């Protein structure tokens, strides 16, 4: 067999995404290039690696076994690179972090300088909903997770990153002239929710239940960006983290509706499993965050006050 490391990496991405289109996007390759490499890789096996049913690509059972073996090969090759850099005195390895979707607005600022300082470190950053973030942490698939709602069923340790503020927001087509509205305003405004499992939705529902608010649920959407665009389009209102809407407030696409008891406040925490044995990379990143977080917050997040 004469398969290449490049073919293994492409097949792994196709296996992960179950889509040539999505794999090509993530690999920054054209679809024809990915298809050709998949065909060349397939030609070396007498058993199909993939099958297409309708217009959907599936990985066969044999293909899944090959993907597992391919991952081990790629990991071993990466280890050679990391060990070489380590012998040269460079910090090297993989840093794995899972982040709830709204956390994508803050985690890059805590990673940027660290990654620049340590070019031998590779980053795997998974941005998804709260449930998937906790699942990856529970399975010990990541070093850290970034959440605003702490899991109750796991033994964890944490370091506080920064405060998370949530406001009631709408587009700018309607004027809200009162200095402060009563909570009863919720009975008049159709609300757009995040999907079940979202940390933002959990915080939103906890506040609504605690205050026994009458609400009009308009719809639910599966990402913070989708909710934001729906609010901008005038489909309803929502309770959203300030960190994700700063640019839209400054540009006049959204407005904060001043309501008694707002903002709702929670804390962004970087968490990890209790008694976890850190790699040198994970240990260095945690040390960096704890030493630099105050300066990062002051420099990157104190420029906007609603």
Per-domain residue ranges for the chain?
5-84, 91-162+267-300, 163-266
Quick one: average pLDDT of 104-133? 90
Pick the closest to residue 75 from 122, 113, 16 (CA basis).
122
**Mean pLDDT, residues 135-163 taken together:** 92
DSSP bridge pairs for 169: 238, 256
pLDDT of residue 189 exceeding 60: yes
Helices in 28-138 by DSSP H: which ranges? 31-42, 61-87, 107-117, 130-138
Q: Report how far residue 63's alpha carbon sits from residue 66's, in angstroms, rounded to the nearest whole number.
A: 5
Dihedral sign computed on CA atoms, order 117, 90, 104, 283: negative
Residue 304 has pLDDT above 70, yes or no: no
pLDDT band at 86 (very low <50, low <70, confident <90, very high): low
Res 36 pLDDT > 90: yes
Which of 170-184, 204-218, 286-300 is least confident? 204-218
CATH classification of 163-266 is 3.40.190.10, yes or no? yes
Pairwise pLDDT comparison (306 vs 110), residue with the higher score: 110
- Whole-Å CA distances, 66 to 8, 23, 47, 70, 95: 9, 17, 11, 6, 25
Phi, psi at residue 227, to the nearest 5°? -60, -45
Look at residue 28 and tell me whether its pLDDT is greater than 70: yes
Average pLDDT over residues 197-207: 85
Count of CB atoms situated within 10 Å of the CB of 5: 11
* Percent of residues, the chain, with pLDDT higher than 70: 96
Q: Cα–chain-centroid distance for residue 192?
A: 21
pLDDT tops 80 at residue 84: no
Average pLDDT for residues 276-290, to the nearest whole number?
92
- Percent of the chain past pLDDT 90, that is, above it, reads 59
* pLDDT tops 80 at residue 291: yes
pLDDT in tens, 206-236: 888 898 888 887 788 988 889 999 999 999 9
How large is the average pLDDT for residues 25-35? 90
The domain 5-84: what is its CATH number?
Answer: 1.10.10.10
The pTM of the whole model exceeds 0.75? no
- Residue 303, pLDDT score: 52
What is the β-pairing status of strands 50-53 and 56-59? antiparallel
pLDDT at site 88:
66
Least confident range from 161-165, 219-223, 267-271: namely 219-223
Helix (H, G, I), strand (E, B) or coil at 52: strand
Paired residues of 163 in beta bridges: 267
Do the Cβ atoms of 105 and 244 come closer than 8 Å? yes
In this prediction, residue 93 has a pLDDT band, given cuts at 50, 70 and 90, of confident
Q: pLDDT by residue (tens digit) across 65-83?
A: 999 999 889 888 877 776 7
Give the per-residue pLDDT at 306. 65
Whether the pLDDT of residue 170 is over 90: the answer is: yes
Please indicate whether residue 286 or residue 91 has the higher confidence score (pLDDT): 286
Check for a shared fold between 5-84 and 91-162+267-300: no
Quick one: average pLDDT of 125-153? 90
Q: What is the pLDDT of residue 96?
A: 94
CATH number of 91-162+267-300: 3.40.190.10
- Integer angstrom CA distances of residue 129 from 154, 191, 230: 17, 20, 19
pLDDT tens digit sequence for 243-255: 889 889 999 999 9
Partners of 305 in beta bridges: none
């Amino acid at each position: 067999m004469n398969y290449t490391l490049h073919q293994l990496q492409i097949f792994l991405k196709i296996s992960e995404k179950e889509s040539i289109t999505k794999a090509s996007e993530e690999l920054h390759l054209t679809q024809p290039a990915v298809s050709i490499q998949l065909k060349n890789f397939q030609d070396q096996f007498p058993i199909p690696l993939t099958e297409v049913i309708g217009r959907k690509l599936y990985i066969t059972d044999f293909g899944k076994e090959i993907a597992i073996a391919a991952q081990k090969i790629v990991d071993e090759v990466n280890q050679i690179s990391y060990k070489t850099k380590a012998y040269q005195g460079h910090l090297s390895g993989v840093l794995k972090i899972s982040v709830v979707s709204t956390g994508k607005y803050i985690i890059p600022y805590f990673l940027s300088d660290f990654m620049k300082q340590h070019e031998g470190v590779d980053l795997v950053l998974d941005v998804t909903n709260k449930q998937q973030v906790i699942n990856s942490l529970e399975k010990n698939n990541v070093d850290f997770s970034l959440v605003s709602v702490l899991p109750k069923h796991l033994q964890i340790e944490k370091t506080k990153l920064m405060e998370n503020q949530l406001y009631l927001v709408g587009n700018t087509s309607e004027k809200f002239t009162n200095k402060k509205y009563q909570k009863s305003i919720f009975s008049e405004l159709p609300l757009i929710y995040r999907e079940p499992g979202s940390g933002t939705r959990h915080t939103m529902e906890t506040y609504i239940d605690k205050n026994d608010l009458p609400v009009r649920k308009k719809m639910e959407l599966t990402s913070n960006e989708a909710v934001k665009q729906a609010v901008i389009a005038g489909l309803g209102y929502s309770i959203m983290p300030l960190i994700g809407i700063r640019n839209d407030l400054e540009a006049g696409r959204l407005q904060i509706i001043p309501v008694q008891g707002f903002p709702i406040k929670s804390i962004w925490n970087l968490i990890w499993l209790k008694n976890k044995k850190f790699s040198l990379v994970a240990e260095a990143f945690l040390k960096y965050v704890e030493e630099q977080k105050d300066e990062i917050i002051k420099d990157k997040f104190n420029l906007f006050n609603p």
